[in-house]
A and B are shown apart, each in its own frame.
Chain A
Amino acid sequence: DVKVTQSSRYLVKRTGEKVFLECVQDMDHENMFWYRQDPGLGLRLIYFSYDVKMKEKGDIPEGYSVSREKKERFSLILESASTNQTSMYLCASSPGTGTYNSPLHFGNGTRLTVT
């Protein structure tokens, strides 16, 4: 089974702090994604990466950046955390192009609270 591991289940940070959310997958997937989940809004794509050192903006990239130095690891960075970034963050991975009907595999999420 594919395993996607997010390093923290719960985080509490202060406004203005730099925050790192880490995600690791163990199935050699090319694609990795970061979503945030908010009540009534479903899942919104922040950033995704289709290869090492490659990244693409999703629908709501403002206030975030990402890093993919190794294939198995995809980090989400909040440069200066704000209260409106309080949310559930979900990491996901999938195989690369040519496997278009493959599902996303999700981690268990990190619930971030910014005070």
Chain B
Amino acid sequence: GNSVTQMEGPVTLSEEAFLTINCTYTATGYPSLFWYVQYPGEGLQLLLKATKADDKGSNKGFEATYRKETTSFHLEKGSVQVSDSAVYFCALSDLYNFNKFYFGSGTKLNVKP
């Protein structure tokens, strides 16, 4: 079946620190992979995506590379800001099942000034 596992939080960093949030997946086919971000009191917003192996998604300084050999899609940012404090969700979509999405449990990021 399909599933997503991401590192537990919370992750607490100082401003300008390097960020990595680990995400691994299990999939029966060839999924697309996504990172979503949720700011307090809001719904989820798409942060970036990758649709095939070795693709790199990027947005707002965040990056993630679709690694088929390690079934991973780790989120990275070189220098975090206080405004990046949010909950981050890794997800995959299943082409063969109405594009159903499978989400990780979320990782809360706290960035301190």
B window 73-113: CB within 8 A of A: 89, 91, 93, 95, 98-101, 103-106
A97–B95 alpha-carbon span in the complex (Å): 8
* Residue B69 interfacial (CB < 8 Å): no
A99–B95 alpha-carbon span in the complex (Å): 9
What number of A residues sit within 8 Å (CB to CB) of B? 28
A69–B36 alpha-carbon span in the complex (Å): 29
Q: Determine if B44 and A106 form an interchain contact, defined as CB atoms under 8 angstroms apart.
A: yes
A94–B95 alpha-carbon span in the complex (Å): 12
A97–B42 alpha-carbon span in the complex (Å): 27
Q: How many Å from the CB of A38 to the closest CB on chain B?
A: 10
Q: When A100-B93, A101-B49 are in contact, do A106 and B43 touch as well, CB less than 8 Å?
A: yes
Question: Chain A 70-87 against B: per-residue CB contact (8 Å), 1 yes, 0 no?
Answer: 000000000000000000
B window 45-84: CB within 8 A of A: 45-46, 49, 51
Q: Which residues of A contact B95 (CB under 8 A)?
A: 100
What number of B residues sit within 8 Å (CB to CB) of A? 23
A50–B49 alpha-carbon span in the complex (Å): 22
Q: Determine if A31 and B93 form an interchain contact, defined as CB atoms under 8 angstroms apart.
A: no
Q: Determine if A42 and B103 form an interchain contact, defined as CB atoms under 8 angstroms apart.
A: yes
Q: Which residues of B contact A43 (CB under 8 A)?
A: 44, 89, 103, 106
Q: Determine if A94 and B99 form an interchain contact, defined as CB atoms under 8 angstroms apart.
A: yes
Q: When A42-B104, A100-B32, A101-B51 are in contact, do A31 and B45 touch as well, CB less than 8 Å?
A: no
Q: How many Å from the CB of B81 to the closest CB on chain A?
A: 23
A104–B106 alpha-carbon span in the complex (Å): 16
* Residue A112 interfacial (CB < 8 Å): no
Interface residues of B (CB under 8 A from A): 32, 34, 36, 41-46, 49, 51, 89, 91, 93, 95, 98-101, 103-106
